[in-house]
Amino acid sequence: MGLPLSCEFAEAGLHVSGIDVSEGKIEELKAGRSYVLDVTDTQVKKLIDSGHLKPTTDFSVISDCEAVCICVPTPLRKSRDPDISYIVAALEEIAKHMHKGLLIVLESTTYPGTTEEVLLPRLSDSGLKVGEDFYLAFSPERVNPGDKVHNTRNTPKVLGGVTPACTEKAAALYRNAVDKVVTVSSARVAEMVKLLENTFRAINIGMVNELAIMCDHLNVDVWEVIDAAKTKPFGFMPFYPGPGLGGHCIPIDPLYLSWKLKTFNYTARFIELASAVNSSMPEHVVSKINDALNEKMKSIKGSQILVVGVAYKPDVSDVRESPAIDVMGLLANRGALLSYADPYVPKLGILGNELKAYDLAQGVEQFDCVVIVTNHAAFDYDSFLPGASLIFDARNVTAKLKLPESCTVWKL
Protein backbone atom coordinates (compact mmCIF):
# COMPACT_ATOMS: atom_id res chain seq x y z
CA MET A 1 0.00 0.00 0.00
CA GLY A 2 2.94 2.35 0.56
CA LEU A 3 4.30 2.33 -2.97
CA PRO A 4 1.01 3.09 -4.81
CA LEU A 5 0.31 5.96 -2.38
CA SER A 6 3.85 7.31 -2.76
CA CYS A 7 3.49 7.27 -6.54
CA GLU A 8 0.18 9.16 -6.43
CA PHE A 9 1.71 11.89 -4.26
CA ALA A 10 4.76 12.05 -6.54
CA GLU A 11 2.59 12.16 -9.68
CA ALA A 12 0.84 15.17 -8.14
CA GLY A 13 4.16 16.98 -7.96
CA LEU A 14 5.00 16.43 -4.30
CA HIS A 15 8.50 15.34 -3.32
CA VAL A 16 8.23 11.93 -1.69
CA SER A 17 10.77 10.00 0.34
CA GLY A 18 9.85 6.33 0.34
CA ILE A 19 11.31 4.72 3.47
CA ASP A 20 11.62 0.96 3.87
CA VAL A 21 13.81 -1.23 6.07
CA SER A 22 14.21 -3.68 3.17
CA GLU A 23 17.36 -2.74 1.31
CA GLY A 24 16.31 -5.08 -1.50
CA LYS A 25 13.09 -3.16 -2.15
CA ILE A 26 14.88 0.17 -2.05
CA GLU A 27 17.50 -1.03 -4.56
CA GLU A 28 14.74 -2.32 -6.84
CA LEU A 29 13.05 1.08 -6.82
CA LYS A 30 16.29 2.98 -7.37
CA ALA A 31 16.85 0.79 -10.44
CA GLY A 32 13.41 1.77 -11.71
CA ARG A 33 11.76 -1.55 -10.94
CA SER A 34 8.43 -1.93 -9.15
CA TYR A 35 7.83 -4.82 -6.76
CA VAL A 36 4.00 -4.57 -6.81
CA LEU A 37 1.74 -5.43 -9.74
CA ASP A 38 -0.35 -2.27 -9.50
CA VAL A 39 2.64 0.02 -10.13
CA THR A 40 4.58 -0.29 -13.39
CA ASP A 41 8.34 -0.12 -13.85
CA THR A 42 7.79 2.77 -16.26
CA GLN A 43 5.91 4.77 -13.63
CA VAL A 44 8.59 4.16 -10.99
CA LYS A 45 11.46 5.06 -13.33
CA LYS A 46 9.78 8.28 -14.43
CA LEU A 47 9.24 9.42 -10.83
CA ILE A 48 12.75 8.43 -9.77
CA ASP A 49 14.31 10.23 -12.73
CA SER A 50 12.26 13.38 -12.07
CA GLY A 51 13.38 13.44 -8.44
CA HIS A 52 9.83 13.33 -7.10
CA LEU A 53 10.29 9.87 -5.58
CA LYS A 54 13.39 9.10 -3.53
CA PRO A 55 13.58 5.60 -2.03
CA THR A 56 15.73 5.29 1.10
CA THR A 57 16.36 3.27 4.24
CA ASP A 58 17.38 6.42 6.13
CA PHE A 59 14.70 7.64 8.56
CA SER A 60 16.55 10.92 9.12
CA VAL A 61 14.87 12.33 5.99
CA ILE A 62 11.78 12.78 8.21
CA SER A 63 13.50 15.87 9.61
CA ASP A 64 12.93 17.57 6.26
CA CYS A 65 9.40 16.23 5.66
CA GLU A 66 6.13 18.02 6.28
CA ALA A 67 4.11 14.81 6.52
CA VAL A 68 4.70 11.12 7.24
CA CYS A 69 2.35 8.29 6.27
CA ILE A 70 2.81 5.01 8.16
CA CYS A 71 2.04 2.07 5.86
CA VAL A 72 3.46 -0.96 7.67
CA PRO A 73 2.07 -4.49 8.13
CA THR A 74 -0.23 -5.33 11.04
CA PRO A 75 -0.42 -9.14 11.21
CA LEU A 76 -1.82 -11.37 13.92
CA ARG A 77 0.32 -13.28 16.38
CA LYS A 78 -0.16 -17.03 16.67
CA SER A 79 -2.27 -16.28 19.73
CA ARG A 80 -4.63 -14.35 17.39
CA ASP A 81 -4.01 -11.00 19.09
CA PRO A 82 -2.81 -7.88 17.20
CA ASP A 83 0.86 -7.52 16.38
CA ILE A 84 1.47 -3.77 16.17
CA SER A 85 5.23 -4.10 16.56
CA TYR A 86 5.79 -2.71 13.05
CA ILE A 87 3.76 0.38 13.93
CA VAL A 88 5.70 0.83 17.17
CA ALA A 89 9.03 0.42 15.36
CA ALA A 90 8.07 3.07 12.79
CA LEU A 91 6.77 5.31 15.57
CA GLU A 92 10.08 5.17 17.41
CA GLU A 93 11.97 6.25 14.28
CA ILE A 94 9.52 9.12 13.66
CA ALA A 95 9.82 10.27 17.28
CA LYS A 96 13.58 10.67 16.81
CA HIS A 97 12.97 13.23 14.08
CA MET A 98 9.85 15.02 15.37
CA HIS A 99 9.66 18.71 14.57
CA LYS A 100 7.12 21.48 14.72
CA GLY A 101 4.44 21.36 12.02
CA LEU A 102 4.85 17.65 11.21
CA LEU A 103 1.74 15.71 10.16
CA ILE A 104 1.69 11.98 10.95
CA VAL A 105 -0.97 9.75 9.38
CA LEU A 106 -1.36 6.08 10.26
CA GLU A 107 -2.70 3.99 7.37
CA SER A 108 -2.06 0.50 8.73
CA THR A 109 -5.26 -1.32 9.70
CA THR A 110 -5.53 -1.67 13.46
CA TYR A 111 -7.97 -1.74 16.36
CA PRO A 112 -10.00 1.37 17.28
CA GLY A 113 -8.01 3.53 19.67
CA THR A 114 -4.50 2.78 18.37
CA THR A 115 -3.86 6.29 17.05
CA GLU A 116 -4.86 8.00 20.30
CA GLU A 117 -3.69 5.33 22.75
CA VAL A 118 -0.37 4.29 21.18
CA LEU A 119 0.84 7.00 18.79
CA LEU A 120 -0.35 10.15 20.55
CA PRO A 121 1.36 9.58 23.94
CA ARG A 122 4.70 8.69 22.32
CA LEU A 123 4.67 11.65 19.95
CA SER A 124 3.60 13.98 22.74
CA ASP A 125 6.78 13.04 24.65
CA SER A 126 8.51 15.54 22.36
CA GLY A 127 6.82 18.35 24.27
CA LEU A 128 4.90 19.39 21.15
CA LYS A 129 1.12 19.77 21.42
CA VAL A 130 -1.16 17.86 19.08
CA GLY A 131 -3.38 20.05 16.92
CA GLU A 132 -1.09 23.04 17.38
CA ASP A 133 2.57 21.98 17.10
CA PHE A 134 2.07 18.65 15.29
CA TYR A 135 -0.85 16.86 13.67
CA LEU A 136 -2.00 13.26 13.95
CA ALA A 137 -4.67 11.36 11.99
CA PHE A 138 -5.77 7.92 10.82
CA SER A 139 -6.69 7.16 7.22
CA PRO A 140 -7.24 3.49 6.33
CA GLU A 141 -5.79 2.20 3.08
CA ARG A 142 -8.39 0.89 0.65
CA VAL A 143 -6.12 -0.55 -2.03
CA ASN A 144 -7.59 -3.59 -3.78
CA PRO A 145 -4.62 -5.40 -5.37
CA GLY A 146 -5.20 -6.52 -8.94
CA ASP A 147 -8.27 -4.28 -9.39
CA LYS A 148 -8.19 -2.72 -12.87
CA VAL A 149 -10.99 -0.24 -12.09
CA HIS A 150 -10.49 1.00 -8.53
CA ASN A 151 -7.12 2.44 -7.57
CA THR A 152 -5.59 4.74 -4.97
CA ARG A 153 -6.68 7.92 -6.74
CA ASN A 154 -10.31 7.11 -7.59
CA THR A 155 -11.17 5.33 -4.33
CA PRO A 156 -12.61 7.77 -1.74
CA LYS A 157 -10.22 8.29 1.19
CA VAL A 158 -11.67 8.22 4.71
CA LEU A 159 -9.73 10.06 7.39
CA GLY A 160 -10.18 11.30 10.92
CA GLY A 161 -7.83 13.42 13.00
CA VAL A 162 -7.17 13.54 16.72
CA THR A 163 -8.34 17.19 16.61
CA PRO A 164 -10.26 19.18 13.97
CA ALA A 165 -7.02 20.89 12.97
CA CYS A 166 -5.43 17.47 12.45
CA THR A 167 -8.30 16.43 10.21
CA GLU A 168 -7.97 19.63 8.19
CA LYS A 169 -4.21 19.17 7.70
CA ALA A 170 -4.54 15.51 6.69
CA ALA A 171 -7.38 16.27 4.25
CA ALA A 172 -5.25 18.97 2.62
CA LEU A 173 -2.45 16.43 2.13
CA TYR A 174 -4.58 13.63 0.67
CA ARG A 175 -6.47 15.88 -1.73
CA ASN A 176 -3.22 15.90 -3.72
CA ALA A 177 -3.38 12.12 -4.22
CA VAL A 178 -7.07 11.13 -4.25
CA ASP A 179 -10.14 12.49 -5.99
CA LYS A 180 -12.42 12.45 -2.94
CA VAL A 181 -11.61 12.81 0.77
CA VAL A 182 -14.27 11.78 3.29
CA THR A 183 -13.63 13.24 6.74
CA VAL A 184 -15.06 11.77 9.94
CA SER A 185 -15.19 13.11 13.48
CA SER A 186 -12.22 11.27 14.96
CA ALA A 187 -9.34 8.90 14.34
CA ARG A 188 -11.25 6.22 16.27
CA VAL A 189 -14.18 6.47 13.84
CA ALA A 190 -11.82 6.19 10.86
CA GLU A 191 -10.21 3.10 12.43
CA MET A 192 -13.66 1.55 12.87
CA VAL A 193 -14.67 2.32 9.28
CA LYS A 194 -11.95 0.05 7.88
CA LEU A 195 -12.85 -2.74 10.28
CA LEU A 196 -16.52 -2.47 9.34
CA GLU A 197 -15.68 -2.76 5.64
CA ASN A 198 -13.62 -5.92 6.05
CA THR A 199 -15.80 -7.43 8.78
CA PHE A 200 -18.78 -7.03 6.45
CA ARG A 201 -16.98 -9.04 3.79
CA ALA A 202 -15.62 -11.67 6.18
CA ILE A 203 -19.03 -12.34 7.73
CA ASN A 204 -20.85 -12.53 4.41
CA ILE A 205 -18.20 -14.83 2.96
CA GLY A 206 -18.47 -16.97 6.09
CA MET A 207 -22.23 -17.12 5.62
CA VAL A 208 -22.01 -18.20 1.99
CA ASN A 209 -19.25 -20.71 2.80
CA GLU A 210 -21.55 -22.31 5.35
CA LEU A 211 -24.34 -22.18 2.77
CA ALA A 212 -22.09 -24.14 0.40
CA ILE A 213 -21.67 -26.84 3.05
CA MET A 214 -25.44 -26.89 3.64
CA CYS A 215 -26.09 -27.22 -0.09
CA ASP A 216 -23.59 -30.09 -0.23
CA HIS A 217 -25.62 -31.96 2.41
CA LEU A 218 -28.85 -31.16 0.54
CA ASN A 219 -27.41 -32.16 -2.85
CA VAL A 220 -28.08 -28.67 -4.23
CA ASP A 221 -25.70 -26.66 -6.47
CA VAL A 222 -24.80 -23.59 -4.41
CA TRP A 223 -23.56 -21.74 -7.52
CA GLU A 224 -26.97 -22.15 -9.19
CA VAL A 225 -28.67 -20.93 -6.02
CA ILE A 226 -26.54 -17.76 -5.92
CA ASP A 227 -26.98 -17.06 -9.64
CA ALA A 228 -30.75 -17.25 -9.25
CA ALA A 229 -30.83 -15.20 -6.04
CA LYS A 230 -28.81 -12.34 -7.53
CA THR A 231 -31.52 -11.70 -10.13
CA LYS A 232 -33.42 -9.98 -7.33
CA PRO A 233 -32.86 -6.24 -7.95
CA PHE A 234 -33.08 -5.22 -4.28
CA GLY A 235 -32.23 -6.57 -0.83
CA PHE A 236 -29.56 -9.05 -2.00
CA MET A 237 -25.83 -8.79 -2.67
CA PRO A 238 -24.06 -11.85 -4.09
CA PHE A 239 -21.10 -13.34 -2.27
CA TYR A 240 -19.39 -16.52 -3.41
CA PRO A 241 -17.97 -19.49 -1.51
CA GLY A 242 -14.36 -20.54 -1.77
CA PRO A 243 -11.64 -22.70 -0.24
CA GLY A 244 -11.05 -20.18 2.56
CA LEU A 245 -10.02 -16.56 3.10
CA GLY A 246 -6.63 -15.17 2.20
CA GLY A 247 -4.63 -11.97 2.07
CA HIS A 248 -3.53 -9.55 4.75
CA CYS A 249 -6.91 -7.88 5.38
CA ILE A 250 -10.16 -9.83 5.41
CA PRO A 251 -9.03 -12.88 7.45
CA ILE A 252 -7.16 -10.67 9.94
CA ASP A 253 -8.78 -7.26 10.35
CA PRO A 254 -12.07 -8.43 11.95
CA LEU A 255 -10.04 -10.26 14.60
CA TYR A 256 -8.44 -6.94 15.55
CA LEU A 257 -11.92 -5.68 16.39
CA SER A 258 -12.82 -8.91 18.18
CA TRP A 259 -9.65 -8.65 20.29
CA LYS A 260 -10.39 -5.05 21.25
CA LEU A 261 -13.93 -5.91 22.32
CA LYS A 262 -12.60 -8.62 24.64
CA THR A 263 -11.02 -5.83 26.69
CA PHE A 264 -14.61 -4.73 27.38
CA ASN A 265 -15.62 -8.30 28.29
CA TYR A 266 -17.67 -8.50 25.08
CA THR A 267 -17.60 -11.35 22.57
CA ALA A 268 -17.95 -10.39 18.90
CA ARG A 269 -19.99 -13.47 18.06
CA PHE A 270 -20.54 -12.88 14.34
CA ILE A 271 -16.82 -12.27 13.81
CA GLU A 272 -15.76 -15.34 15.76
CA LEU A 273 -18.28 -17.57 13.98
CA ALA A 274 -17.37 -16.28 10.52
CA SER A 275 -13.68 -16.78 11.29
CA ALA A 276 -14.34 -20.35 12.42
CA VAL A 277 -16.32 -21.18 9.26
CA ASN A 278 -13.83 -19.54 6.90
CA SER A 279 -10.86 -21.17 8.64
CA SER A 280 -12.48 -24.59 8.29
CA MET A 281 -12.94 -24.38 4.51
CA PRO A 282 -9.52 -25.81 3.54
CA GLU A 283 -10.34 -28.94 5.56
CA HIS A 284 -13.73 -29.14 3.85
CA VAL A 285 -12.06 -28.87 0.45
CA VAL A 286 -9.58 -31.63 1.28
CA SER A 287 -12.41 -33.82 2.57
CA LYS A 288 -14.25 -33.40 -0.75
CA ILE A 289 -11.07 -34.13 -2.72
CA ASN A 290 -10.74 -37.31 -0.68
CA ASP A 291 -14.34 -38.28 -1.55
CA ALA A 292 -13.74 -37.56 -5.22
CA LEU A 293 -10.61 -39.72 -5.32
CA ASN A 294 -12.35 -42.50 -3.41
CA GLU A 295 -14.98 -42.69 -6.14
CA LYS A 296 -12.09 -43.32 -8.55
CA MET A 297 -10.88 -46.11 -6.21
CA LYS A 298 -7.91 -43.96 -5.13
CA SER A 299 -6.75 -42.31 -1.93
CA ILE A 300 -5.02 -39.00 -1.31
CA LYS A 301 -1.90 -40.85 -0.23
CA GLY A 302 0.24 -41.48 -3.28
CA SER A 303 -2.03 -39.53 -5.66
CA GLN A 304 -0.53 -36.97 -8.03
CA ILE A 305 -2.44 -33.75 -7.31
CA LEU A 306 -2.05 -30.47 -9.19
CA VAL A 307 -3.23 -27.29 -7.45
CA VAL A 308 -4.11 -24.58 -9.97
CA GLY A 309 -3.65 -21.07 -8.50
CA VAL A 310 -1.95 -20.51 -5.15
CA ALA A 311 -2.14 -16.71 -4.65
CA TYR A 312 -4.71 -15.53 -2.12
CA LYS A 313 -6.89 -13.93 -4.83
CA PRO A 314 -7.03 -13.75 -8.63
CA ASP A 315 -4.43 -11.83 -10.63
CA VAL A 316 -1.97 -11.08 -7.79
CA SER A 317 1.27 -12.71 -6.62
CA ASP A 318 0.58 -12.41 -2.87
CA VAL A 319 0.35 -15.76 -1.06
CA ARG A 320 -0.11 -14.34 2.46
CA GLU A 321 -2.83 -16.27 4.30
CA SER A 322 -3.71 -17.98 1.01
CA PRO A 323 -6.13 -20.89 1.48
CA ALA A 324 -4.15 -22.74 -1.19
CA ILE A 325 -1.24 -23.02 1.24
CA ASP A 326 -3.52 -24.60 3.83
CA VAL A 327 -5.09 -26.95 1.27
CA MET A 328 -1.66 -28.04 0.02
CA GLY A 329 -0.36 -28.51 3.55
CA LEU A 330 -3.30 -30.74 4.45
CA LEU A 331 -2.88 -32.74 1.24
CA ALA A 332 0.85 -33.15 1.82
CA ASN A 333 0.23 -34.36 5.38
CA ARG A 334 -2.03 -37.04 3.93
CA GLY A 335 0.67 -38.22 1.57
CA ALA A 336 -0.30 -36.50 -1.68
CA LEU A 337 2.38 -35.95 -4.33
CA LEU A 338 1.90 -32.23 -4.95
CA SER A 339 2.46 -29.91 -7.89
CA TYR A 340 1.09 -26.44 -8.46
CA ALA A 341 0.61 -24.00 -11.32
CA ASP A 342 0.54 -20.22 -10.92
CA PRO A 343 1.89 -17.64 -13.39
CA TYR A 344 2.50 -15.15 -10.57
CA VAL A 345 4.25 -17.47 -8.09
CA PRO A 346 7.33 -19.16 -9.59
CA LYS A 347 8.38 -20.81 -6.31
CA LEU A 348 6.49 -21.89 -3.22
CA GLY A 349 7.50 -23.39 0.11
CA ILE A 350 5.26 -26.13 1.53
CA LEU A 351 6.11 -27.90 4.80
CA GLY A 352 9.80 -27.15 4.38
CA ASN A 353 9.97 -28.18 0.71
CA GLU A 354 10.38 -25.70 -2.13
CA LEU A 355 8.26 -26.37 -5.19
CA LYS A 356 8.61 -24.78 -8.61
CA ALA A 357 5.55 -23.85 -10.63
CA TYR A 358 4.40 -26.49 -13.09
CA ASP A 359 4.09 -25.51 -16.76
CA LEU A 360 0.51 -26.22 -17.82
CA ALA A 361 1.66 -26.47 -21.44
CA GLN A 362 2.97 -29.93 -20.51
CA GLY A 363 -0.60 -31.14 -19.98
CA VAL A 364 -2.41 -32.49 -16.93
CA GLU A 365 -3.11 -36.08 -18.02
CA GLN A 366 -0.65 -37.54 -15.47
CA PHE A 367 -2.43 -36.07 -12.46
CA ASP A 368 -4.99 -38.02 -10.48
CA CYS A 369 -6.79 -34.80 -9.55
CA VAL A 370 -6.61 -31.16 -10.66
CA VAL A 371 -7.71 -28.78 -7.90
CA ILE A 372 -8.72 -25.24 -8.91
CA VAL A 373 -8.14 -22.92 -5.95
CA THR A 374 -7.39 -19.46 -7.38
CA ASN A 375 -9.02 -18.42 -10.65
CA HIS A 376 -6.45 -16.19 -12.34
CA ALA A 377 -7.65 -14.58 -15.55
CA ALA A 378 -4.37 -15.71 -17.15
CA PHE A 379 -5.41 -19.37 -17.00
CA ASP A 380 -6.65 -20.75 -20.31
CA TYR A 381 -8.83 -23.49 -18.84
CA ASP A 382 -10.05 -24.66 -22.25
CA SER A 383 -6.50 -25.55 -23.21
CA PHE A 384 -5.59 -27.83 -20.30
CA LEU A 385 -8.65 -28.91 -18.29
CA PRO A 386 -10.05 -31.27 -20.98
CA GLY A 387 -7.00 -33.47 -20.34
CA ALA A 388 -7.89 -33.98 -16.68
CA SER A 389 -9.58 -37.14 -15.49
CA LEU A 390 -10.78 -35.61 -12.21
CA ILE A 391 -11.25 -31.94 -11.31
CA PHE A 392 -12.16 -30.40 -7.99
CA ASP A 393 -13.41 -26.89 -8.76
CA ALA A 394 -13.51 -24.52 -5.77
CA ARG A 395 -14.28 -21.46 -7.95
CA ASN A 396 -16.95 -22.67 -10.41
CA VAL A 397 -14.71 -21.98 -13.41
CA THR A 398 -15.89 -25.18 -15.11
CA ALA A 399 -19.50 -23.98 -15.30
CA LYS A 400 -19.07 -22.50 -18.79
CA LEU A 401 -16.60 -25.05 -20.14
CA LYS A 402 -17.38 -27.95 -22.46
CA LEU A 403 -15.42 -30.83 -20.99
CA PRO A 404 -15.30 -34.41 -22.30
CA GLU A 405 -17.36 -37.12 -20.60
CA SER A 406 -14.12 -38.73 -19.47
CA CYS A 407 -13.55 -35.75 -17.19
CA THR A 408 -15.29 -35.92 -13.79
CA VAL A 409 -15.94 -32.59 -12.07
CA TRP A 410 -16.60 -32.07 -8.37
CA LYS A 411 -17.55 -28.58 -7.20
CA LEU A 412 -17.38 -26.83 -3.85
Residues labelled as active-site residues: 249
Distance CA 293, CA 44 (A): 48
Query: Helices 222-229 and 187-218 meet at what angle, rounded to 10?
Result: 120
Residue spans of alpha helices (H) in 232-336: 253-262, 269-295, 323-333
Residue spans of alpha helices (H) in 52-126: 85-96, 114, 120-124
**CA of 81: how far to CAs of 69, 328, 369, in Å?**
24, 26, 37
Which of 326, 306, 308 has its CA nearest to residue 376? Answer: 308
DSSP 309-348: --SSSTT----TT-HHHHHHHHHHHTT-EEEEE-TT-SEE
Distance CA 292, CA 305 (A): 12
> Pairing relation of β-strands 304-308 and 369-372?
parallel
Which of 307, 310, 244 has its CA nearest to residue 277? Answer: 244
* Contact (Cβ atoms closer than 8 angstroms) between residue 384 and residue 321: no
- Per 3-state DSSP, the chain is made up of helix, strand and coil in percentages (nearest 5) of 40, 15, 45
Q: Cα 74 to chain center, whole Å? A: 12
End-to-end CA distance of the chain, in Å? 32
Distance CA 181, CA 168 (A): 11
Distance CA 381, CA 401 (A): 8
